Amino acid sequence: MKSGKPDILTRQPVPAQSTRQPNPFFQPWVQDNARRHLLAPHERFILVGGDQQIALPLAVDRRIPGWLPTVGHIWGHKHCFDSTPLAQNPSRSDIEALFDSLTEQGIHLLRWRRLPTDTNFATALLDFLENRGLAHEETKRYQRSLLMAGGNDPDSFLERLSKKRRKDLRRCRQRLSELGAVEFVTYQGRHDAAQWCDDFIELEASGWKGPSGTRTAIGCSENERAFFEAMAREGAAEGNIIVHSLTLDTRPIAMTVNFRSGSWAWAYKVAYREDLANLSPGVQLEVEGSLAFMNDPSIACVDSCTASGHSLMDNLWSGRRPMAEFLIAVRPSANPMVRASGLLWRRYLAVKNAARDKVKKLRSS
């Protein structure tokens, strides 16, 4: 971990016309590096609609026998939390061209995960499927916490937390201050990711995700580390990454890495020192980071990228972003397969929920 006090960087002004929010996870600085380092050996990568208005990264499992219907997955590796195409306001002809491209690639079924349904694209997609008579089943629905930064009052933000929680946070900050100098540091605008990249990788690997735990930290995989370093280097150089860091005597004890596109931000990664967990450095950083976003007039919304029920962000951020996963027939001949899959899936969920309710009754009794 580097020593010395990091520089506090200020963001370059964002043009007033920058109001669109093209998905950062499908932009070249993320997607190209992901394809280079994260594509599994059994996955065949296809960029469908590459010469059209809508282009989508698709993965097909090479292990599936050729005589079975070909299922394409919108490529959503573990570091991708949004699958909205870059086209913001697609026309019917744009989506029709996309599905024609899927058909030309021999795709029968399309599995679409992590799709926000509050976008113009999602509305246009569902309208197209209905009008074209293509079967589609919603296999999962959930919500992600959303910070409505624009127009929100930072002074009343902490009132969303209980008095007890606010008192605990003040106590934790006081105890941290007794251990050394505490500072909130931000890296943003065009900058060199080397100022924070290694610190984040080391911090994440120091906890339960590290070598002595689940080994899911970025630093535990050569491919993931290579992806993260290349992505961070290019994204920071283009001003597409915002990093918040809580330091103790200039050494990070909690960090968040956020992607930026237009007036939106996506909370991509978080890490904190677990030996200081009793002082809640991660919670303190999330609060400081939220306030920083709310005080920035160029930021309108921040997507938490968390699963539904994430208690901290659900408590802090009042907004909600609807998410869904779909199984879609690319051609009418695949409609029966989609409908049958949807029926089986609903029955499975009914059995699962009934079993869960029985377990709850047994536990309560």
HEC profile for the chain? Answer: CCCCCCCCCCCCCCCCCCCCCCCHHHCHHHHHHHHHHHCCCCEEEEEECCCCCCCEEEEEECCCCCCCCCEEEECCCCCCCCCCCCCCCCCHHHHHHHHHHHHHCCCCEEEEEEEECCCHHHHHHHHHHHHHCCCEEEEEEEEEEEEECCCCCHHHHHHHCCHHHHHHHHHHHHHHHHHCCEEEEEECCCCCHHHCHHHHHHHHHCCCCCCCCCCCCHHHCHHHHHHHHHHHHHHHHCCCEEEEEEEECCEEEEEEEEEEECCEEEEEEEEECHHHHHHCHHHHHHHHHHHHHHCCCCCCEEECCCCCCCHHHHHHCCEEEEEEEEEEECCHHHHHHHHHHHHHHHHHHHHHHHHHHHHHHHHHC
Q: Are the CB atoms for 24 and 257 separated by under 8 Å?
A: no
132 pLDDT band (50/70/90 cuts)?
Answer: very high
Co-location of 123 and 164 in the same domain: no
Nearest Cα to Cα of residue 313 among 82, 96, 148: 148
Q: CATH number, domain at 39?
A: 3.40.630
Co-location of 83 and 72 in the same domain: yes
In a domain, 15, yes or no: no
pLDDT in tens, 224-250: 999 999 999 999 999 999 999 999 999
Amino acid at 94: D
Flag whether pLDDT at 16 surpasses 80: no
310 pLDDT band (50/70/90 cuts)?
Answer: low
What pTM does this model have?
0.87
Co-location of 129 and 234 in the same domain: no
In a domain, 78, yes or no: yes
In a domain, 18, yes or no: no
Co-location of 285 and 338 in the same domain: no
Lowest model confidence (mean pLDDT) among 165-169, 209-213, 248-252: 209-213
Co-location of 29 and 163 in the same domain: no
Co-location of 222 and 237 in the same domain: yes
Co-location of 228 and 281 in the same domain: yes
Co-location of 316 and 326 in the same domain: no
Overall number of domains in the chain: 2
Amino acid at 254: A
pLDDT in tens, 265-292: 999 999 999 999 999 999 999 999 999 9
Co-location of 303 and 327 in the same domain: no
In a domain, 266, yes or no: yes
- The pLDDT value recorded for residue 309 is 65
In a domain, 282, yes or no: yes
Q: Which structural domain range is residue 274 located in?
A: 147-320
Co-location of 163 and 290 in the same domain: yes
Co-location of 213 and 353 in the same domain: no
Co-location of 235 and 327 in the same domain: no
